[in-house]
Amino acid sequence: MATSEASQRAITAQNPSRDQQRGPTRRAAVAQLLAGWSLFSLAAGVGLLGCVRFLFPNVLYEPPATFNAGMPSNYGVGVDETFKNTNSTWLVRTESDPLSGRDGIPGIFALNTVCTHLGCIPNWQAADNRFKCPCHGSGFRPSGMNFEGPAPRPLERWRVVLSEGELMVDMNQKYQWEKGQWVSPESYVVV
């Protein structure tokens, strides 16, 4: 009898029941399922975070579009670069500006520093009395008029007015020569 039980245990050990055979397979399947859900949950969480991120757009801190450029007497005849980097503006004082219909009338105007070709920032070259764009070689006179290179039109001018005796430059309003806008009273301060 004892021999028979021992034989039976040996046979069982060599031939595991169906449940025993299924056991590891089921555990593996459950583990895979859990792993799959974990990955899915992780991906869904990341996606949700991405959506939430769009609810809080980037804040751009740009300089104010209107700025005080100080007293006209601060500016001698010629190009002033004080506000080139901070406000995209050159202030130009001239004895005469025939292109805006102010021949022989001294005044100050504000030029936009952006090249009218593809938007680079030209350099002021006092020795050559010109703005020269480093990107494709366009050249502009101190008035803003283009005279060489691919730029199709002059530099733009900003609105500039006197407020309590000081120059206020308003970059919300621009004036384009090719549209006949340089004659606007607020594109030039007579000094």
Positions touching ligand FES (CB under 6 A) are 115, 117-120, 133, 135-138, 149-151
In the bound state with ligand FES, the residue whose beta carbon lies nearer, of 108 and 133, is 133
Beta partners for residue 36, in sequence order: none
For the chain, give the number of residues.
191
In the bound state with ligand FES, the residue whose beta carbon lies nearer, of 36 and 137, is 137
Other beta carbons within 10 Å of 173:
17
H or E stretch including 21?
Answer: helix 18-54
| Separation CA 164–CA 159 (nearest Å) | 16
In the bound state with ligand FES, the residue whose beta carbon lies nearer, of 151 and 171, is 151
In the bound state with ligand FES, the residue whose beta carbon lies nearer, of 107 and 144, is 144
User: Rounded to the nearest whole angstrom, what is the least distance from the CB of residue 152 to ligand FES in the complex?
Assistant: 10
**Two structure tokens written together for 15:** 């031939």
| Separation CA 175–CA 183 (nearest Å) | 9
User: Rounded to the nearest whole angstrom, what is the least distance from the CB of residue 86 to ligand FES in the complex?
Assistant: 21
Burial of 138 (0-12, 13-18, 19+ CB in 10 A): buried
In the bound state with ligand FES, the residue whose beta carbon lies nearer, of 132 and 174, is 132
User: Rounded to the nearest whole angstrom, what is the least distance from the CB of residue 121 to ligand FES in the complex?
Assistant: 8
User: Rounded to the nearest whole angstrom, what is the least distance from the CB of residue 77 to ligand FES in the complex?
Assistant: 26
User: Rounded to the nearest whole angstrom, what is the least distance from the CB of residue 136 to ligand FES in the complex?
Assistant: 3
| Separation CA 93–CA 40 (nearest Å) | 66
Other beta carbons within 10 Å of 120:
15
